[in-house]
Amino acid sequence: MEYFEVKAKDLLGRIGRLYTSHGVVETPAIAPVVNPVKQVIEPKEIFEMGYQLIMTNAYIIKKNYGELAKELSVHGLLGVERPIMTDSGAYQILEYGKVEVGPEEILKYQEEIGSDIGVILDIPTRYEASFEEAKLSVLETLRRAREALKLRGRKDFLLVGPVQGGKHLELVRYAAKELAKMPFDIYAIGSPTPLMEEYRFGELVRIIIEAKLSLPVNKPVHLFGAGHPMMLSLAVALGADLFDSASYALYARDGRYMTPTGTYRLSELDELPCSCPICSKLDAKELKEVPEEERYRALALHNLYVLASEVKLIKEAIREGRLWELVEVRANAHPSLKDGVKQLIKYRHVIEEYDPVMPSKLRGIFFLSTFSPYRPEVIRYRSRLRRRYSPPKGVKVLLLIPEVAEKPFHRSKEVAKLLSNAVNSLLRKVHVCVYSYPFGVVPLELDDVYPLSQYEATLPPTFKYHVLKALRNYLKAFKKVYEAVVIYGDSSTWGEKFYRRLISLSKSLGLKVKALIVTDPYSDSSLRELRKVLHSILNP
C-alpha cells in the first residue's frame, strides 16, 4: 500500500493522506512540538483539538528516560496512541554545536521507542556558514543519509531525509538531487528557522522551491520550524506538506498572542481579536490578571487554536483553487511576506506546470492585487492561446473591443448590440476579441470557458501594462492571419496613451490599423461609426 496519496492540488500545494503505523495524517499538517520532560499542553489535549500529528525529541527522551522509553514506547511515554514524529537531536547541534549521541545510535533508538516518523541525525547548515562550511554539512548529511537507509529495520518506520545547504542555492539543489536518489519516505528542508525568525521570507522561498523542484513529486516534504500562521499558506503554495514548531509554547512563554496576520504582546492588547474557546471565555483584562502559569497555558492553547484554524483555511483554499488568493491576503500582513510572493512569482512558469487545470471545487477566482496577473490560470491561458488556438477560418479583420461588466461577454446586452448593429453580416470576416484585465485577449467564441468568465477583478495601476503585453503576444502570434486590425476604444477607461501604444504596436508588426476611440463604445452613434470603419476596410 502506498503510504502517501494526493487528494487535491493547487499551485504546488496539495491535500494528501500520510499513512503511519498509528493512523492517517491529512496534509498539510503542522505537528506541535512537545517537550517529553515538561509538557505545557498534554499530547492528548493537542489531538483532541484536531491535530493529527505531534513531534517530540528522541535525543531528549534518550537523555532523560533511556531504556525505560523502550519499554513504554514513545506513545506510552506521552500517553497517546496516535502518530508521533521524533527528531534526532539535529536542532541541538544547531543550537549548541554538538550532541552526545551518534547517528546510528539515535536512529536505532527512534525505531526502538516506536516512532512513527523519524529523522536522521543530519548536520544543519548554519545561516552564516560560508560556501565551504555549508558544503561540508551537505556532504556529511548525505553520507549519514545513505548509512541510515542501510540501518533501518522496521518497515513501518517512516524515515525523513533532510536537505541542507542553507542560503547557498547551488548546494540546496545538489543536496536535493542526491537525496532524491535515495528511497526516503519523507524529505525535509533543514535549517530554515533563522530565516523565519528574521522574516527573511524572500530567501526562504528560494530555498524551499529549489529543493522542492529537485525532490520526488510523489513524496511529502517537511519544513522544519515553520510555526507562524501568517506564512503557512506561502509555504504550502511552494510545496511543503508537513511542518513542526514549538512556537505555540515559546510565544506563550514570552507573552505573545498569535493571529493569522501577525503577533501581539498580550500586555498591549485591549481586546482579544479571536473567538477560540480561550478568547470566548476571557477578555484581555481578565487574561492578563490570571496567575502566570495559567496565563502561559491559556496563551499556548490560543496559539494552537489559531494554527489549527489556519491549516483548515489552507485546505479549503486548495480545494477551491484559491490558495493564491490566500497567499496574497496573508502577504499584506508583513512587507517581508510580500518579498516572498515576489520571489514566488519568479517561478510562475514552473508553478503553472504543476498547478491543476481545474480545482476540486469549481469556484470563481478573485484578482486582488498587482500579484494576481501572475497566478497560474493567467499564465496558462496566455500560453495556450498562443500554442493551441487558431482564429476562425476566413476572417480578415481583427476587431478588438473593450470589456464590459457582464460575463461571459457575448451574453451581455452591450456586446449583443455591437454584434447586431455593427458587425452583423460581416461576422464571418470579422473576428471579435475582447481586451480585458487580467487575461488580455479573449476571443468571443472562448469567453465562457473557465475561468474567462468566472472571475472578479479590481484594476491595479499596472493593468494596462499586462493587457498591452498580452495584446503584443497575440498580435505577434497571429499577424499573418489578419489583413487589418480595428481598435475600438473606450477613452474614459483606457485613456489615449494606451491606444497610442496599441496602434504603434500593431503598425510595428506590419499590420494595417484603424482606430475608433470614443467615450461611449456602445451608443448607437458609436456603433454606426464602427460599422462604417469595418465596411471601409472590407470594401475599399
Place of cell 499586462: 466
**3-class secondary-structure state, position 120:** coil
Answer whether 74's CB lies under 8 Å from 86's CB.
yes
Strand 13-20 and strand 54-57: the pairing is unpaired
All 3 cell numbers of residue 244? 513542526
Q: How many residues does the chain have?
A: 540
Q: How far apart are the first and last CA of the chain?
A: 72
**In angstroms, rounded to a whole number, what is the distance separating the alpha carbons of residues 301 and 279?**
10
H/E element, 177 = helix 169-180
All 3 cell numbers of residue 355? 498547478
Answer whether 373's CB lies under 8 Å from 436's CB.
no
For residues 277, 283, 288 and 292, what is the CA-based torsion angle, rounded to 10 degrees? -20
**In angstroms, rounded to a whole number, what is the distance separating the alpha carbons of residues 401 and 432?**
7
All 3 cell numbers of residue 370? 498587482
Active site residues: 87
H/E element, 340 = helix 335-346
**In angstroms, rounded to a whole number, what is the distance separating the alpha carbons of residues 37 and 189?**
27
